[in-house]
Structure 1
Amino acid sequence: MSALIEGLPDAVSIRCLARVPLYLHPNVQLVCRSWRGALRSLEFSRVRHEVGASEDLLCVCAFEPENLWQLYDPRRDVWMTLPVLPSEIRHLANFGVVSTAGKLFVLGGGSDAVDPLTGDHYGIFATNEVWSYDPVSRQWARRTSMLVPRAMFACCVLDGKIVVAGGFTTCRKSIAKAEIYEPEKDVWVPIPDLPHTHNSACSGVVISGKVHVLHKGLSTIQVLENPACRWVVEDYGWLQGPMAVVRGDLYVLSHGFIFKQGREQKKKVVAYASEFQSRIGFAMMGLGNDLYVIGGVIGPGRWNLDIRPLSDVDYLTVRSERPTWRMVASMTECHGSILGCTVLTI
């Protein structure tokens, strides 16, 4: 077998290739079979971490185009488009999305597609299917299904494992069931149920190594300190609104301001930009030291019945002395209401 790079040991060559950013990988893999094999090897991922070449990428799925994901590279201000998610469910929505072990995971959810003739929604409200995307091989793979079909549920990563809890199952029935997934073993294991179910969508965030499950409109929070332990119910009195974690701190958009939300107190960071006020259906996500607001739609104004889908992406460096909203490159394919968003580290 010829050397990866002529004149260099392969151990040195692969450390050189490891510094190539992800957005150039499709071109690099066209050079030769040995380079393509090197980039798809388990060793390559390990070496990327060793040489400090790991990348944090923003992963986004919007209502349009159907079942399409894009990745954003903040260092180079470029967007990459993934192969279409191969689920048979049309316009998959209300799913959970996280990343762990260098892969993107899309879990559960149901169809948001509408029959153009009748106006009826398709019948799949909740599924238990699980998909993973490997950014190195650039392929989607079907994983072991969740134990329970669910949509509009809490989904987090705790110690490298995926925790899902609550939400709605088939027939739109709220559930308290919770389970945990080990990516390396591709196995789901049940964990204690949530103490309470509520007839509202729930979401999850990890703060200080604990999973927090929040229901829309409720001040009480159900907290999992350890997957082997029971859930506890707390009343933090947190603000209601879109949330994101930046460097371990929770930020909330509420009443036109971005707040840093502590366990028992909050601190106003900056006003939400005035041009955002009519923006709905967007995602809010922390990446590095920044808080990103992605996509959404401009809702109909008082005299305007049109709804304008957006591909805009704005960010705020929350820890700066004078936080100011700025724009980055707009999404090149996705636009409109954001269905899923997470950060992928590879």
Structure 2
Amino acid sequence: MMHSQNAGSLDTVEPQDADYSYVPSLSDDLALLILARVPLSEHAKLCFVNQRYLSLLRNGELYKIRKEMGIREPSVFLLASGESRWRALDPRLGSCRDLPELPSDWCFTSGDKESFCVGTHLLVSGRELEGLVIWRYELLANRWFRGPPMIGPRCLFASASCGDFACVAGGIRSEGLRAIEVLNSAEKYNPHTRSWELLPNMLRQRKMCSGCYMDGKFYVIGGVDERNRDLTCGEFYDMERNVWDLVPDMINVTPGFARSPPLVAVVNNELYLLDAPSNQLKVYLKGSNSWRELGPVPVRADDRGGWGVAFKSLGNELLVMGSAQNAPGIRVMTICTCCPNPGSNNLQWQVRRSNGHHSSPFVFNCSVMVA
């Protein structure tokens, strides 16, 4: 069996079938059921076993089987201050690995970026010297690919993984470094065809907004309009009706508080908000279009207006990453999770991983892939 210290793309792997004649053979169906239960963090090792396993990884068949079996394992993709590469984390197992170096130019590397996951793709949008581009990391190949670009390139947009697709909406259209227009356009990305498709325009132009997927609909919440006014409304795209519906007064805005886009996450089809000014976790009450406080979060979101804090859904848990609430002056990233209960104020946060390797607890980009 071949071993490699520098496993790169699956395209370059050349496994040699080992002699397992002394091991009782398993039926193909039973072997697939066993392989489907292997954690994602161990999949890179499977490609060295034999050609069959490598093919299952390359063509995505193993991930289809996992989906049919209801195995949905979240992985966290992170780019933090002081890090030159993206990392893949499993906070539950405490595992961490570096992704291959992203082959972009210095402008993309040093500039602001936005990221989202769908299927087994991580998409990172940013600016290169020639303009806005997207780089795509494919888990199956363990490689970065350039493109495809959005139909309408943008920055400061909302995004969310919506089942088999990812949706983006709003943001800014620019020429060079100059903002030209605040957008109300929307698109969806198909990871199977690696292509974009236009959606109907939103009802409002908005930038610095946030997206989420709830009740089978793509929600876009908050942000700033074309006149630089704060938006308290949200809206959602109904995929069955192919229309947008407005939700007035969906979110509160603290006057005079410079802030990031709303920190929102959906767990078990319930919408949660990390309110940066108060460091409070809130749950959205759909029936009354209001919010209920559940208690404080264990990271500081108030000192930078929510910038540098990651707030994501991790399966049936909430994930927060940032500077510890009770450790002022200590520059260490803290990673915590909890299983929220919309009807309870008793939050049980669990510290998953505190990594002193980071020079700063500031999170540039964070996305969760469920595969």
- Classify the TM-score, shorter chain: 0.7 to 0.9
Does residue 249 (structure 1) correspond to residue 274 (structure 2)? The answer is no
Does residue 323 (structure 1) correspond to residue 347 (structure 2)? The answer is yes
Question: Does the Cα contact within 8 Å between 1:295 and 1:309 map onto a contact in 2?
Answer: no
Local SS of the residue matching 1:206? strand
- Which residue number corresponds to residue 119 of structure 1? none
Q: How does 1:106-121 map to 2 (within 5 A)?
A: 106=124, 108-110=125-127
2:121 to 77, 88, 103: 103
State the shift of 1:295 in Å.
2.9
TM-score under structure 2 length normalisation: 0.75
Unaligned runs of 5+ in 2: 1-15, 224-229, 254-261
Does residue 230 (structure 1) correspond to residue 243 (structure 2)? The answer is yes
2:281 to 258, 281, 298: 258
Question: Against the structure 1 CA distance between its residues 142 and 215, is the aligned structure 2 distance closer, same or farther, given a 3 Å change threshold?
Answer: same
Does residue 49 (structure 1) correspond to residue 70 (structure 2)? The answer is no
Q: Give the Cα separation in 1 of the matches to 2:221 and 2:236.
A: 9
Does residue 136 (structure 1) correspond to residue 163 (structure 2)? The answer is no
State the shift of 1:274 in Å.
7.9
Q: How does 1:90-239 map to 2 (within 5 A)?
A: 90-95=109-114, 97-106=115-124, 108-110=125-127, 127=132, 129-170=133-174, 171-173=178-180, 174-198=182-206, 200-216=207-223, 217-226=230-239, 229-239=242-252
Does residue 269 (structure 1) correspond to residue 288 (structure 2)? The answer is no
Local SS of the residue matching 1:189? strand
State the shift of 1:318 in Å.
1.4
State the shift of 1:329 in Å.
1.6
Question: Against the structure 1 CA distance between its residues 330 and 32, is the aligned structure 2 distance closer, same or farther, given a 3 Å change threshold?
Answer: farther
TM-score under structure 1 length normalisation: 0.79
Does residue 287 (structure 1) correspond to residue 304 (structure 2)? The answer is no
Q: Which whole-Å deviations, capped at 9, do the CAs of 1:92-151 have from their partners, x for residues lacking one?
A: 4242x3222232222x3336xxxxxxxxxxx67x61x33332223212223321112211
Local SS of the residue matching 1:328? strand
Percent identity between the two aligned chains: 24
Local SS of the residue matching 1:236? coil
Q: Which whole-Å deviations, capped at 9, do the CAs of 1:166-222 have from their partners, x for residues lacking one?
A: 111222222222222222222222222223324x42221222122222233321123
Question: Against the structure 1 CA distance between its residues 332 and 309, is the aligned structure 2 distance closer, same or farther, given a 3 Å change threshold?
Answer: closer
Q: Give the Cα separation in 1 of the matches to 2:69 and 2:165.
A: 25
Question: Does the Cα contact within 8 Å between 2:91 and 2:353 map onto a contact in 1?
Answer: no
1:71 to 88, 112, 126: 88
- Which residue number corresponds to residue 83 of structure 1? 100
Does residue 16 (structure 1) correspond to residue 34 (structure 2)? The answer is yes
- Which residue number corresponds to residue 257 of structure 2? none
Local SS of the residue matching 2:187? strand
Unaligned runs of 5+ in 1: 112-122, 302-306
Q: Give the Cα separation in 1 of the matches to 2:53 and 2:214.
A: 40
Question: Against the structure 1 CA distance between its residues 252 and 218, is the aligned structure 2 distance closer, same or farther, given a 3 Å change threshold?
Answer: same
